[in-house]
């Protein structure tokens, strides 16, 4: 049976301001800087904000902590695609 996947950006569509969302993610990372999942969420947040440079930094940190991971490489490719104005290079 087909299962609907959750929207990965759902958590960013809440009533919180972007600044409050960013602060919450940063607080979680400060509490546990080795948590690759939080770094990946930070990368998603920055992508959502069109802040591609910080998104790349966060995803690269997640990769460093998690190791080889297809999902994170796909996320990096997505950021690079948007950073290049949606042109394949």
- The tokens describing 7, both together, are 């929207």
Q: What angle do CA 7, 13, 17 make, to 5 degrees?
A: 150
Element (H, E) at 56: helix 52-66
Tens digits of residue pLDDT in 46-76: 999 999 999 999 999 999 999 999 999 999 9
Cα 81 to Cα 60: distance, rounded to the nearest angstrom: 16
pTM of the model: 0.78
**Superfamily of 17-87 according to CATH:** Tetratricopeptide repeat domain (1.25.40.10)
Return d(Cα 32, Cα 38) in angstroms, integer: 9
């Amino acid at each position: 049976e087909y299962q609907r996947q959750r929207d990965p950006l759902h958590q960013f569509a809440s009533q919180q301001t972007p600044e409050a969302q960013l602060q919450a993610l940063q607080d979680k990372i400060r509490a546990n800087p080795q948590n690759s999942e939080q770094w990946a969420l930070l990368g998603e947040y920055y992508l959502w904000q069109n802040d591609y440079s910080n998104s790349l930094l966060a995803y690269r940190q997640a990769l460093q902590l998690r190791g080889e991971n297809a999902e994170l490489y796909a996320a990096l490719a997505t950021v690079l695609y948007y950073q290049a104005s949606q042109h394949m290079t």
